Amino acid sequence: MRDVLRSMPGPVFLESDRLSLRTVESEDREFIRSHWNSPELRHWFAKTDPIDSERLSDFLETNDTEVHFLPCRDSVPVGFLWLFRIDDVAGRGEIGYWVSPEEQGNGYATEAAELGLRYAFNERGLHKVMARVFEGNKTSQRILEKLGFEEEGYLREHYFVDGEYVDTRFFGLLADDK
């Protein structure tokens, strides 16, 4: 709650029935940093380095290959969503998301990802969006299936997480699949 109060998301960029995707502003960094360092969330991204202010600033730095959004209910952030490895020549990018533990189970990740995909296909003009999911992340896999992604690849022991190698599934969604 403390983090949410400190957060002050930027203007609405896209919106759906319950959520908006807003720009990430400097006041939102504490919200992102506190959640992203929590073992509960970072476990699923294999984030092994602590994300201090400097690292977060580097990560959030504007460039041509990444876009960051704060999914919000009214103006309260419920998580984080980003498109990365955007390759405008290949027309391809990857999507990532997390929802803060107290906001999970409400369909927010699915709704936020739908908005992110709308941006990727309709505004950014991408042809394909990829997602990678660790084996065992049934929740994220379910989200991708709901959104129409197809599993395209399975990489064995691809990441090292909490002392063991984990298999990883790659999913893809084409603009034409929508």
Ligand X SMILES: CC(C)(COP(=O)(O)OP(=O)(O)OC[C@H]1O[C@@H](n2cnc3c(N)ncnc32)[C@H](O)[C@@H]1OP(=O)(O)O)[C@@H](O)C(=O)NCCC(=O)NCCS
Which residues are near ligand X by CB under 6 A?
Answer: 41, 44, 97-99, 104-110, 133, 137-140, 142-143, 146
What is the distance between the alpha carbons of residues 1 and 166, in angstroms, rounded to a whole number? 33
The identity of residue 149, as a single letter, is: F
- Residue 27, classed as helix, strand or coil, is helix
Give the residue with the Cβ less far from ligand X, 89 or 128: 128
- Beta carbon nearer to ligand X, 92 or 125: 92
Of the pair 125, 153, the CB lying nearest ligand X is at 153
- Which residue is listed with tokens 């602590």? 50
Neighbours of 104 (CB within 10 A): 15
> Shortest distance, CB of residue 89 to ligand X, whole angstroms?
25
Report in angstroms how near the CB of residue 13 gets to ligand X at its nearest.
19
Identify whether the C-beta of residue 82 lies closer than 8 Å to the C-beta of residue 66.
Answer: yes
Shortest CB 111 distance to ligand X, Å:
7
CB of 84 to ligand X, least distance (A): 12
Q: What residues form DSSP beta bridges with 84?
A: 94
